[in-house]
Chains A and B, each alone.
Chain A
């Protein structure tokens, strides 16, 4: 009797799993896939059911071919139009809605990037559902875990909406393998796009040879203690030795030492590298929110009372202007 119940339970589960189908919004720059999409595909696989990827952009066929090779993807939808230059949410939303209408996805997912977080809530509102942003775990097809209060509490939420619209914290999910899949690609008929409401005028991206901050294995970050933009050179040298990305606290960004896209924290980037070296950073709640899931945290600060030492695995109370060059030298 017990075994019978178990079998029927398992049957129910597999039926349930088969009923799920997820649309993953692939983020890219028309040339290359943003790696966070692979983390989103993993989250989609945890929900179960078919995973379809939507590649929308202008002249982005290469990206569709790249996504089609990712493990776990069963179909790729391609929406290619010059109107999608700049990835404006006003134009992407009708495309996502059109694919949702055609295929009845139960879940729509994107990486929790600036684009994903800007787009998913707009899609959710159009579907009259509540979005769930920046999830760190999938508990079941309708229950997700996310952080609140700058990462100081974990909130488990259950959605009663017919379609779950979600953005996924990249560092909380392994990347799905980029090679080994062979999904078919089909073109999505484009809905009417309103091109009068918004216009993409251009971008000023920070150029760097170093690894990308959100996905780097090692990160070296500087704060107000660096005292000037020129002094960040010390961190760049250390970062180069470690093949690390360079981040910053809000204080360093506000003081103009480095551009805002280097900010790590509640309202900047969330990172979880293997090694995070915080230099001249006091460790405000808002900064810790962005890095406290790092595997190993090192703090170099001359103030032994700095809160950063409470989360650091290895703390060195020292003048960074002496300790950092010495560390770079000896590595």
Chain B
């Protein structure tokens, strides 16, 4: 089967970092802060590679759109096992407004250009927490979508996907081409080994401009302000179950 898979890789502030709001209240401090691949995207990359290893896919293409700098996210995907990578260069001035509305258009155009039959993305990026790019990419392509996947199996041009939903799990079948977004429990991403990191340096990484993919970006949302969430009052430590019950009674919670 010659199925090409496109996987999206976003570079975000590492999940373990305690973020700080910028003094100008227009964003968070990103300079000098540890970044890494969005954890959900790692899961998407892993799933794509497993599909290739199972001979269900022929090629895995990792994609990222941002300004020119920092290609390490794509190199990580290549070191994990992606075949090649595409960096879509977005003018620095547009990166401020780069969100799912813009990225989904680029991904849809790339999926067409590369003849991909599956776009695999993380269910959400842990920075903007939007949870929208996969759904929007599917809409632009008029492809079916299977979001929050915890299990994917393919057979005869169709995917059977178990999805994590509010009350439990549900199973849907989508015909290919399709867009799938990965939930936490889809798999456990592998670590890139040193030899693979070295090999990844030789893999092809194409740079494309927005003009190459034929997409014009438009601004939809403007950030008016970013602020700290309200802080909670300091609590008290109680020394026994009895004093805990007493405290909860006093607070009217029980």
Q: How far is the CA of A201 from the CA of B169 in the complex (A)?
A: 11
Q: How far is the CA of A150 from the CA of B183 in the complex (A)?
A: 16
Asked whether A121 lies within 8 Å of B131 as measured between CB atoms, the reply is yes
Asked whether B228 lies within 8 Å of A154 as measured between CB atoms, the reply is yes
Chain B nearest CB from A111 CB (Å) reads 10
Give the residues in chain A near B164, CB-CB below 8 Å.
Answer: 114, 260-261
Q: How far is the CA of A149 from the CA of B233 in the complex (A)?
A: 21
Q: How far is the CA of A312 from the CA of B124 in the complex (A)?
A: 28
CB within 8 Å of B: which A283-331 residues: 285-286, 292, 295-298, 309, 311-318, 323, 326-327, 330-331
Chain B nearest CB from A150 CB (Å) reads 7
Chain B nearest CB from A92 CB (Å) reads 12
Q: Which of B163, B173, B224, B244 contacts A143 (CB 8 A)?
A: B224
A242 contacts chain B at the CB level, 8 A cutoff? yes
Q: Which of A117, A254, A266 contacts B185 (CB 8 A)?
A: A254
Q: Which of A149, A153, A218, A267 contacts B184 (CB 8 A)?
A: A267
B152 contacts chain A at the CB level, 8 A cutoff? no
- Number of A-B residue pairs with CB-CB distance less than 8 Å in the complex they form: 255
B220 contacts chain A at the CB level, 8 A cutoff? yes
Give the residues in chain A near B99, CB-CB below 8 Å.
Answer: 130
Q: CB-nearest residue of chain B relative to A260?
A: B164
* A231-271 Cβ-contact flags toward B at 8 Å (1 or 0): 00000000000100000001001100001110000110100
Chain A nearest CB from B14 CB (Å) reads 11
Q: CB-nearest residue of chain A relative to B99?
A: A130
Given A90-B144, A133-B131, A315 contacting B238 (CB threshold 8 A)? yes
B190 contacts chain A at the CB level, 8 A cutoff? no
Asked whether B170 lies within 8 Å of A86 as measured between CB atoms, the reply is yes
Given A148-B226, A314-B247, A153 contacting B171 (CB threshold 8 A)? no
Asked whether B167 lies within 8 Å of A205 as measured between CB atoms, the reply is yes
CB within 8 Å of A: which B180-239 residues: 183-185, 219-229, 232-233, 235-239
CB within 8 Å of B: which A123-137 residues: 123-126, 129-134
Q: How far is the CA of A260 from the CA of B149 in the complex (A)?
A: 12
Asked whether A148 lies within 8 Å of B236 as measured between CB atoms, the reply is no
Asked whether A197 lies within 8 Å of B185 as measured between CB atoms, the reply is no
Chain A nearest CB from B12 CB (Å) reads 9
* B156-184 Cβ-contact flags toward A at 8 Å (1 or 0): 00001001111111111111000000011
Asked whether A204 lies within 8 Å of B139 as measured between CB atoms, the reply is no
* A181-212 Cβ-contact flags toward B at 8 Å (1 or 0): 00000000000000011111111111000000
Instruction: Give the most central of B18, B173, B235, B247: most A CB within 10 Å.
Output: B235
Give the residues in chain B near A286, CB-CB below 8 Å.
Answer: 15
A274 contacts chain B at the CB level, 8 A cutoff? yes
Q: Which of B139, B165, B244 contacts A203 (CB 8 A)?
A: B165
Asked whether B145 lies within 8 Å of A129 as measured between CB atoms, the reply is no
Asked whether A285 lies within 8 Å of B15 as measured between CB atoms, the reply is yes
Asked whether A125 lies within 8 Å of B139 as measured between CB atoms, the reply is yes
Q: How far is the CA of A233 from the CA of B101 in the complex (A)?
A: 45
B242 contacts chain A at the CB level, 8 A cutoff? yes
Asked whether B220 lies within 8 Å of A159 as measured between CB atoms, the reply is yes
Q: How far is the CA of A200 from the CA of B236 in the complex (A)?
A: 50
Q: How far is the CA of A254 from the CA of B172 in the complex (A)?
A: 23
A14 contacts chain B at the CB level, 8 A cutoff? no
Asked whether B229 lies within 8 Å of A130 as measured between CB atoms, the reply is no
Give the residues in chain A near B247, CB-CB below 8 Å.
Answer: 314
Asked whether A314 lies within 8 Å of B248 as measured between CB atoms, the reply is yes
Given A130-B220, A158-B221, A199-B173, A121 contacting B238 (CB threshold 8 A)? no
Given A158-B222, A309-B235, A331-B254, A153 contacting B15 (CB threshold 8 A)? no
Q: How far is the CA of A45 from the CA of B40 in the complex (A)?
A: 35
Residues of B whose CB lies within 8 Å of any CB of A are 13, 15-16, 18-19, 21, 28, 40, 99-101, 104, 123-124, 126-133, 135-140, 143-148, 150, 160, 163-175, 183-185, 219-229, 232-233, 235-242, 244-245, 247-248, 251, 253-254
Beyond the given A120-B135, A316-B240, please list 16 additional residue pairs across the A-B interface where CB-CB is below 8 A.
Answer: A121-B133, A131-B136, A157-B223, A158-B221, A197-B175, A200-B171, A201-B172, A204-B168, A206-B167, A260-B183, A266-B126, A296-B251, A311-B235, A314-B244, A316-B238, A330-B242
8 tightest Cβ-Cβ pairs between the two chains A and B: A130-B220, A125-B139, A121-B132, A130-B101, A121-B135, A125-B136, A203-B170, A197-B144
